[in-house]
Amino acid sequence: RLNKNFILNEDFTLATVNSPISINGWQTIAVAGTKVWNAKQYSGNVYARMSAFQSNESSNIAWLISPKITIPSGKDVFFKFDTEYSFWANAILEVYISKNYDGTNPGTAEWTKLDATIANQSVGQYSWVNSGLIKLNDFAGDAYIGFKYTGSNTLSTTFDVDNVSVYNF
């Protein structure tokens, strides 16, 4: 059995519950509206949560962005994470990778959408779903992972993210 070499391994355990995610180089940035990703806890498990519920705002777009990672070239590099949702109301959660994010403004970076399985109505709420293994070989060098929530006062699904890892063997 090969050992995983973790490039990024975040379970949000050290995050301050009910506060914006700001641990280990992670950032949460609202580019529309005022809602951001916060740490939440249930049955001892801490995770990142975003919801536009009761925002009273016509647009809520919030990013949860990883610290800078360095993806080695010439190796298979894998990315995976878990998501769950509650109170389905047609908000959108997507995951991206950027090679030129400047660390402050996600709107000025070029982001490539990654093909991941994200919790949706077909699995039912409060059911953690694994993203599947996403290969990052094409993104060798410095990069950032970004989870983008798009919603509003009426498009207000709650999304949770946990167990974010990037690794090779």
Tell whether the model's pLDDT for residue 1 goes beyond 80: no
Specify the range with the lowest mean pLDDT, choosing from 5-9, 52-56, 121-125: 121-125
pTM above 0.85, yes or no: yes
| Cα gap 3→1, rounded to integer Å | 7
Share of the chain above pLDDT 70, in %: 99
- Give me the CATH number covering residue 158: 2.60.120.200
Could you give the C-alpha distances from 44 to 11, 12, 86, 91, in angstroms and in order? Answer: 12, 11, 18, 27
Tell whether the model's pLDDT for residue 67 goes beyond 80: yes
Which tokens hold the place of 86? 């509650």
Q: What is the DSSP letter of 67?
A: P
Q: What is the pLDDT of residues 107-134, one digit of tens each?
A: 999 999 999 999 999 999 999 999 999 9
Pairing of the two strands 158-168 and 69-71: unpaired
Total structural domains within the chain: 1
| Residue range(s) defining the domain that contains residue 106 | 5-168
Look at residue 169 in the predicted model and tell me its pLDDT.
Answer: 87
* 117, 129 Cβ separation under 8 angstroms: yes
Which tokens hold the place of 103? 């660390």
Q: How far is CA 94 from the centre of its chain?
A: 8
Share of the chain above pLDDT 90, in %: 97
Q: For 4-24, what is the mean pLDDT? A: 97
Mean pLDDT of all residues in the chain?
A: 97
